[in-house]
A and B are shown apart, each in its own frame.
Chain A
């Protein structure tokens, strides 16, 4: 048995790893782990090693990254390109309704009104998808914003719904300033408050509390209600796109609201979850950084 000198040693190692281009010219990703086998004098006799062809794993990883980007791009383009045909469908059935309602018989009136509401629902879905894909595909224009202003704007947008439902929205004291994109964060509060109103228990008027506290360099917000609450098994499900609970009363909902909220929060570097006792109400909790923590804005 021969011993290997250091040149042979490294040649052997290279032989293991240099197979990254196959004979047919295709490039492969190899992960190798080799170690020397020494004789009793400490001389290296052999290199024992395993060279794994990890090309498939690596390809899968890269495809996953790409498919996320593709998916976003798809959602954006699809919802964009769907706008025009959808506008045509909506507008022409509305035109039919406007011009011929009461002239084509009651069956025709009913069919047309089904078509109108179907088209309207489709529009809400597409707009929701578009909003969702925009969260990631656009630059986050973050700035220091007062969360008092965010909550105030959200409440102002919901004025009619709050009044009609007889809801009370209370804000717990002075809310801190955070670092984020104003329009997106307002949308989070608006979605959560509107959900609390829509999901209210029939036997008591909605009471909603918005509070904030500091937590590890983040602000932890909570939007709590006195509604029917949510069962623990549904805690994650409600954040998934298009998922709504059977008892959701409002047939206009699309099930996009909470997934949009969570995406916005995560885009800001925070987290969002729900706490609830069925029968007692729910609290939607999320964190937003106090300061800029976004990599793009902190070039090292």
Chain B
């Protein structure tokens, strides 16, 4: 499984890496730090030509250049990408954001818990569900 993390805050990205390291999956994680790079990565444009399309996207909403909502729309309107589960992981509790994400066919909305142990167990549950419980289409 390959995961793409779209997160502009290096501290947040570091924490998510630690979370995946905790469950032994650190090597599956790629990180990009703005919305445009995310779209380029997924479409393998420019210097992302050699990247593999990920099996799962973890997407922050507050991003420079192109916000998470737009990235989500890009993914879900691209026939080559729309099958990829997109998990929005954000600090926003706003009902507006939650609604918008599901209306744009986001697969899941998660709020980052403020406590480290809660955050780690959220990562563990993501892995339990998307790796061991759900079945995903074969990689392209």
A interface residue numbers (CB < 8 A to B)? 83-84, 86-88, 90-92, 94-95, 98, 123
Q: Decide if A94 touches B11 in the complex (CB within 8 Å).
A: no
Number of B positions contacting A (CB below 8 A)? 12
B interface residue numbers (CB < 8 A to A)? 9, 11-12, 15, 18, 91, 112, 114-117, 119
Q: Decide if B9 touches A95 in the complex (CB within 8 Å).
A: no
Q: Which of A83, A92, A95, A98 is within 8 Å of B114, CB to CB?
A: A83
Q: Which residue of A lies closest to B112 (CB)?
A: A87
Q: Decide if B91 touches A84 in the complex (CB within 8 Å).
A: yes
Q: Decide if B116 touches A98 in the complex (CB within 8 Å).
A: yes
Among B11, B15, B112, B116: residue with most chain A CB under 10 A: B116
Q: Decide if A91 touches B119 in the complex (CB within 8 Å).
A: yes
Q: Decide if B91 touches A88 in the complex (CB within 8 Å).
A: no
Give the distance in Å from the alpha carbon of A170 to the alpha carbon of B122 in the complex.
Answer: 39
Among A84, A90, A91, A95: residue with most chain B CB under 10 A: A91
Give the distance in Å from the alpha carbon of A95 to the alpha carbon of B11 in the complex.
Answer: 12
> Mind listing 21 A-B residue pairs with CB under 8 Å?
A83-B114, A84-B9, A84-B91, A86-B114, A87-B91, A87-B112, A88-B9, A88-B11, A88-B15, A90-B114, A90-B115, A91-B115, A91-B116, A91-B119, A92-B11, A92-B15, A94-B115, A94-B116, A94-B117, A95-B18, A95-B116
Q: Which of B18, B114, B117 is within 8 Å of A87, CB to CB?
A: B114
Q: Which residue of B lies closest to A88 (CB)?
A: B11
Give the distance in Å from the alpha carbon of A90 to the alpha carbon of B12 in the complex.
Answer: 12
Please give, as numbers and ranges, the residues of chain A lying within 8 Å of B15 by CB-CB distance: 88, 91-92, 95
Chain B min CB distance to A99 (Å): 9
Q: Decide if A88 touches B117 in the complex (CB within 8 Å).
A: no
Please give, as numbers and ranges, the residues of chain B lying within 8 Å of A123 by CB-CB distance: 114
Please give, as numbers and ranges, the residues of chain A lying within 8 Å of B119 by CB-CB distance: 91
Q: Decide if A90 touches B9 in the complex (CB within 8 Å).
A: no
Give the distance in Å from the alpha carbon of A88 to the alpha carbon of B14 in the complex.
Answer: 10
Q: A87-B91, A91-B114, A95-B116 are in contact. List 10 more A-B contacts (CB 8 A).
A: A83-B91, A83-B114, A84-B12, A86-B114, A88-B11, A88-B12, A91-B15, A91-B119, A92-B15, A94-B115
Please give, as numbers and ranges, the residues of chain B lying within 8 Å of A86 by CB-CB distance: 114
Q: Which residue of A lies closest to B11 (CB)?
A: A88
Chain A min CB distance to B113 (Å): 8
Give the distance in Å from the alpha carbon of A134 to the alpha carbon of B91 in the complex.
Answer: 17
Chain B min CB distance to A118 (Å): 14
Please give, as numbers and ranges, the residues of chain B lying within 8 Å of A91 by CB-CB distance: 15, 114-116, 119
Please give, as numbers and ranges, the residues of chain A lying within 8 Å of B9 by CB-CB distance: 84, 88
Chain B min CB distance to A86 (Å): 7
Chain B min CB distance to A294 (Å): 21
Give the distance in Å from the alpha carbon of A164 to the alpha carbon of B20 in the complex.
Answer: 37
